[in-house]
């Protein structure tokens, strides 16, 4: 008998059976629809956030090849560039195998081969005139999210350094390095999104990679996209610098020094932002956010006045575009800091706080619930350790309000 709720939302009382066992009865409409009989085996899975998932064993644990996600595609008459995009989509959404069937043109074959080479853990295992089979060999439990974030941030640091070095005499060499870094950023980003989507379907994977909360999974996907966008923007800045030899312009000394200062400033803000995220520190994220909002008006002013102050107009316009790229990259950092702050008040985080009260470090001697790697206020970002810590970011002086950056499309 239903004690409350609809047929799909029941309330059942827990009963004691024997000395220590607790039981809950199953609704008859469900057991009949699923063909459940006394003695049948049910699989119970911890779905996180205090929820249990119950399913007949045959449904919960499919055997053999049925457990493998396979995407089969009839490649005949496929529109231009669609096959590589489908391969990337299948990889990200958790497919282990992609099979392309039918006649595949030489141009399509080249695209497919190039695409698979840009996916970590994916390989072509069969290649015939009428069939290409792609297999993914990545074990999702081997790549904690914090490890991937750390690698991605490390690549962004290298990109900033390469852009700064490209302002000097070794520009062409640094631009070549930037291209390989950009490819690696894309590989790590795609693997991060794959991990997060698999985690959303499998709580065991979610626990293994360090994001058991659905809220954290959604936020982490936005953070991954923001970091990938920053990598694209830094690569574009490098491309602008690489065009000097072809277009015959030079960065004026004054402009070069200004660009170098802003690149250095962005590197510091990137470090403060990502360190706050790795520590789940809302106070450090708030300090980094204050600094960014304090810098944006000054950067916007430089963008606006640069063409008037520099005589070499082609060089000034290119420098202006590069500063605009840094401006957009800083706005991506705003999104990451907002997510870090939001995590401090997620429903999953509050029960872990002392007396369910969010404290701040201060002179009153209150318990430090934030910014301390030993007693984080929210769960860590994976099994591997946090990103390399840096000195805490100091809050900037109050600045004029700057419009919030809209979150990127996850």
Q: 55 vs 329, which has greater pLDDT?
A: 329
CA–CA distance, 195 with 188 (Å, rounded to integer) = 10
Dihedral in degrees, nearest 10, Cα atoms 181, 183, 186, 192:
-70
Instruction: Look at residue 376 in the predicted model and tell me its pLDDT.
Output: 34
pTM: 0.74
Is residue 241 within 8 A of residue 339, CB to CB? The reply is no
Nearby residues of 243 by Cβ (< 8 Å), 6 or more positions away: 249, 318
Which CA distances in Å does 333 have to 226, 379, 401? 7, 21, 16
> Per mean pLDDT, which range of 78-87, 296-305, 340-349, 374-383 is the poorest?
374-383
Instruction: Look at residue 87 in the predicted model and tell me its pLDDT.
Output: 97
CA–CA distance, 71 with 68 (Å, rounded to integer) = 10
pLDDT for residue 266 is more than 80: yes
pLDDT for residue 4 is more than 90: no
pLDDT for residue 400 is more than 70: no
Mode of pairing for the β-strands spanning 70-74 and 97-101? parallel
CA–CA distance, 409 with 267 (Å, rounded to integer) = 24
Instruction: Look at residue 121 in the predicted model and tell me its pLDDT.
Output: 94
Which CA distances in Å does 195 have to 106, 258, 294? 32, 40, 35
Name all domains of the chain by residue range, CATH numbers in brackets. Answer: 15-60 (2.10.260), 66-138 (3.30.110.150), 144-356 (1.20.58.220)
> Per mean pLDDT, which range of 20-34, 50-64, 213-227, 270-284 is the poorest?
50-64
pLDDT for residue 356 is more than 90: no
Instruction: Look at residue 52 in the predicted model and tell me its pLDDT.
Output: 80
Is residue 186 within 8 A of residue 234, CB to CB? The reply is no
pLDDT per residue as tens digits for the range 331-351: 999 999 999 999 888 876 666
Instruction: Look at residue 149 in the predicted model and tell me its pLDDT.
Output: 95
Compute the residue count for the chain: 410
> What's the mean pLDDT in 277-282?
92
Is residue 187 within 8 A of residue 118, CB to CB? The reply is yes
């Amino acid at each position: 008998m239903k004690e409350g709720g609809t047929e799909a939302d029941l309330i059942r009382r827990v009963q004691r059976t024997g000395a220590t066992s607790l039981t809950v009865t199953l609704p008859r409409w469900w057991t009949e629809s699923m063909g459940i009989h006394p003695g049948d085996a049910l699989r119970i899975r911890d779905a996180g956030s205090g929820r249990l998932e119950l399913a007949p064993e045959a449904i919960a644990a499919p055997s053999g090849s049925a457990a493998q996600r396979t995407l089969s595609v009839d490649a005949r008459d496929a529109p231009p560039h669609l096959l590589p995009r489908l391969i990337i989509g299948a990889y990200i959404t958790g497919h282990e195998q992609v099979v392309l069937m039918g006649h595949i043109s030489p141009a399509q074959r080249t695209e497919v081969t190039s695409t698979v080479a840009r996916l970590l853990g994916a390989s072509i295992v069969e290649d015939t005139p009428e069939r290409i089979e792609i297999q993914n060999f990545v074990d999702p439990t081997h790549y904690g999210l914090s490890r991937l974030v750390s690698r991605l941030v490390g690549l962004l640091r290298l990109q900033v350094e390469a852009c700064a070095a490209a302002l000097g005499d070794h520009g062409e060499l640094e631009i070549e390095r930037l291209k390989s870094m950009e490819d690696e950023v894309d590989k790590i980003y795609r693997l991060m999104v794959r991990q997060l989507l698999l985690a959303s379907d499998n709580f065991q994977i979610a626990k293994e990679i360090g994001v058991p909360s659905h809220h954290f999974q959604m936020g982490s996907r936005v953070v991954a996209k923001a970091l990938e966008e920053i990598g694209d923007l830094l690569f574009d800045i490098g491309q602008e610098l690489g065009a000097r030899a072809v277009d015959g312009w030079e960065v004026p000394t004054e402009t070069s020094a200004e660009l170098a200062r802003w690149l250095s400033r962005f590197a510091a803000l990137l470090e403060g932002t990502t360190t706050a995220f790795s520590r789940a520190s809302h106070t450090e994220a708030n300090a980094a956010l204050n600094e960014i909002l304090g810098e944006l008006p000054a950067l916007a002013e430089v963008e606006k006045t640069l063409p008037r102050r520099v005589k070499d107009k082609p060089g000034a316009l290119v420098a202006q575009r590069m500063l605009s790229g840094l401006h957009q990259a800083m706005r991506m950092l705003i999104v990451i800091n907002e997510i870090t702050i939001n995590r401090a008040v997620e429903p999953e985080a509050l029960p872990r706080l002392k007396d369910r009260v969010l404290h701040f470090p201060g002179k009153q001697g209150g318990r430090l619930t934030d910014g301390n790697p030993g007693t984080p206020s929210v769960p860590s970002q994976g099994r591997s350790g946090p990103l390399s810590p840096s000195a805490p970011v100091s809050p900037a002086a109050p600045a004029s309000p700057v419009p919030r950056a809209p979150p990127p499309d996850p």
